Amino acid sequence: MSYESDFFKRYNPDFEKLALYGFRYTENGYEYSADMMDGQFRAQIYISDDCHICGKIIETELNEEYIGYRIANQSGTFVGQVRQAYNALLDDIRQNCFTKQYFLTAQANRIAGKIIARYGDIPEFMWDKAPGFGVFRNPKSHKWYALVMNIDKSKLDGGSEAKESAPSEVEVINLKLTADLVQTLLSQNGYYPSYHMKKPDWISLILDETIDDDQVMKLVEISHAHSVGRTDKSKEWLVPANPKYYDIEDAFRQSDEILWKQSGNIMVGDIAYMYVAQPVSAILYKCEVTQADIPYRYHDDNLVMTKAMRIRLLKTYSPDAFTFAKLSEYGIRAVRGPRGVPESLSRDLNR
């Protein structure tokens, strides 16, 4: 990476502002020159149409390029003055002609924009030693649901292209899904075991256009759902119902409010989507929890209950609308107990 490219890292040029600043457009892109240090040097900056930035400093009297400022271990008063003057010029150009980008790659910045637009969460950059690591956090629960990182591609593990001889910087986004979904995705291009977070329910997605934005955002929604936690607002649950042990369809034909086993931290006002197991294998009902934490002792060969909740029927779905096969599109691979509902599924259930 060149001295100039490193200086403008995470910034994109505004070409209209370049022209107003004094850049001249040529067949090779935008060019700008300016005297430095009372005319002893002349800086020349070049920006291509694809945003590649380079430059050089010409020693005026000799009409030769001066390169001392580029050498990291080059020290001394004079070279320090040249470097300071050049940096001041680059900083002025950056402030007047460039816009700040959160991340390095186009896809990472697009995804960041979509997350900001959907949830209003701005990435947090928490580590001085890793300034490009941006965390997206749910402000209500303070839980992370996405982490964007710039790393060397050789650090990714689990893919045939993970190990490379030459360093290659990439950006990845870490998301929290389910262990089952993670294992399914790892067989596809662009998905890797989570870097920096060695947990079975986290995964790294490479942001180099291998995975399209829509798919990334579907998985962001699932990860965000894990971060919701408990708030004053109602929460939505997917609750299993086994017709082998209880005929929920007949129960709702008899009454629009029934008693149901309560598991987990379900509260009054929460929404329960009742998933009826085989042979139906689909979500059939949307219900509101009208009473929770009801003491209820019951035990037989198939069921143990210590507390119950009362649920009221709000809506009925066609058996072929939200089948088990359909739920896999939302990242749901099993419904063994009450679980949160991904936002994408919630939107479709409430259309």
Summarize pLDDT for 41-94 with one digit per residue, the tens: 999 999 998 889 999 999 999 999 999 888 878 888 999 999 999 999 999 999
Using one digit for the tens of pLDDT, what is the confidence trace for 206-248?
999 999 999 999 999 889 888 875 544 568 999 999 998 889 9
**Cα(102)–Cα(122) distance, rounded to whole angstroms?**
9
280 DSSP 8-state letter: T
Give residue 1's pLDDT. Answer: 60
CA atoms within 13 Å, Cβ hemisphere of 293 = 5
Q: Where are the domains of the chain?
A: 3-100, 106-226, 236-349
Strand pairing class (257-261; 41-47): unpaired
Tell me how many degrees the CA angle 303-307-313 measures, rounded to the nearest 5.
90
**What does each C-alpha distance from 309 to 124, 163, 239 come to in angstroms?**
40, 53, 12
pTM of this prediction? 0.54
**pLDDT of 160 over the 70 cut:** no
The CATH code belonging to domain 236-349 is: 3.10.590.10
Taking residues 117-126, what's their average pLDDT?
90
Residue 123, CA distances (Å) to 169, 204, 205 in order? 20, 17, 17
Q: What is the DSSP letter of 253?
A: H
Q: What angle do CA 174, 179, 182 make, to 5 degrees?
A: 50
SS3 content of the chain, % helix, strand, coil (to 5): 25, 35, 40
Q: Name the architecture of domain 106-226.
A: Alpha-Beta Complex (3.90)
d(CA 134, CA 132) in angstroms, rounded, equals 6
Among residues 226, 312, 308, which one has the least CA distance to residue 269?
A: 312
